[in-house]
Amino acid sequence: LPELPEVETVARQLDPLVRGRYIVSARIIDSKLREKGFPAITSLKLRGSRITRCYRSGKQIVIELKGSPQGGLECHLVVHLRMTGRLQFTQDKAQLKLLKPRAVLELDRGWIVFSDTRRFGTMRLFRNAEGFKPPGIDPLSDEFSLKLLSGMLAGSSQEIKAWLLRQDRLTGIGNIYACEALFAAAVDPRRRADSLSSEDVSALRNAIRRILRSAIRNCGTTFSDFQDASGGMGGYQRYLRVYGRAGESCGSCGEEIVRIVQQQRSTFFCTDCQK
Ligand SMILES: [Zn+2]
């Protein structure tokens, strides 16, 4: 599942490739993408729109569009990759079919292709940026202060690992980076959120930010499906300290890394390093 670093990677790679380009046509191939309650994505509305930038908002990729003398709406095209979604740019027409697109945006140079084998991903059109604002705090934003995190944790008796996965609190942290951040902060994933000391909270906040930034530098983590905007793989998997390493020795203390299940999700941690 793409988490914050994978989504950021795709947005960062797409931005310089598509910024300033015009939409020539928008083709929705998978009718499942036409969701009720949103303006349908059609060539009529988007033809002539110019891409002003491409960026991440929560776990979504936003393609920001302005009208131009050729026409087109001022709007935001918002893509959520979910399980297996991929958003790629290509200038090779022969490659288009091979990518098995659910939707294709033809630009004045090249194509943006949205493909998605399991079809859980979404592509929606918003006139107003308020409409797709993520519910939680972005852990890489200035808003994510120590004070804010302390206050949020203080009100919760939930296990800290499960707490981190709730997208309406912090947005974009999934199973991989939750496990890695708790290891880096030396916090046992089974502890209650409100039991963390101020030192623990500070260590956790720093670990979350450091790990997410490092994963972005390495273009995310690829296990099975994630590909970046040019079809490449992430490189962060070689830096994982505990995730997927049950039975291996902990790199810090040599103790065996264990796997437990919390809320139907695997948690990997070191019982010796994490207290
Ligand atoms: Zn250890």
Q: Could you list the pLDDT tens digit for every one of the 275 residues in the chain?
A: 789 999 999 999 999 999 999 999 999 899 888 876 566 777 778 899 999 999 999 999 999 999 988 888 899 999 999 989 999 999 999 999 899 999 999 999 999 999 999 999 999 999 999 999 999 999 999 999 999 999 999 989 999 999 999 999 999 999 999 999 999 999 999 999 999 999 999 999 999 999 999 999 999 988 767 788 888 889 999 999 999 999 999 999 999 999 999 999 999 999 999 99
Please give the distance, rounded to the nearest whole angstrom, from the Cα atom of residue 176 to the centre of ligand 1.
Answer: 17
State the pLDDT at residue 44: 74
Report the separation in Å between the CA atom of 185 and the middle of ligand 1, taken as the mean of its atom positions: 12
Environment class of residue 19 by beta-carbon count within 10 Å: exposed (0-12), middle (13-18) or buried (19+)?
Answer: middle
- Res 176: pLDDT: 95
Q: What is the pLDDT of residue 154?
A: 96
- Tell me the CA–centroid distance for residue 182 and ligand 1, in Å: 12
DSSP letter string over the chain?
---HHHHHHHHHHHHHHHTT-BEEEEEE--GGG--TTS----HHHHTT-EEEEEEEETTEEEEEEE-BTTB---EEEEEE-TTTEEEEEE--HHHHHHT-EEEEEEESSSEEEEEETT---EEEEESSGGGG--SSB-TTSTT--HHHHHHHHHT--SBHHHHHH-TTTBSS--HHHHHHHHHHTT--TTSBGGG--HHHHHHHHHHHHHHHHHHHHTT---SSS---TTSPPPSGGGG-SSTT-TTSBPTTT-PBPEEEEETTEEEEE-TTT--
User: Looking at residue 173, what is its pLDDT?
Assistant: 96
CA of 242 to the centre of ligand 1 (A): 9
Ligand 1 midpoint to CA 16 (Å)? 41
CB 103 within 8 A of CB 33: yes
pTM for the structure as a whole:
0.93
Instruction: Kindly list the catalytic residues.
Output: 2-3, 59, 265
Please tell me the predicted confidence (pLDDT) of residue 37. Answer: 57
pLDDT score, position 226: 77
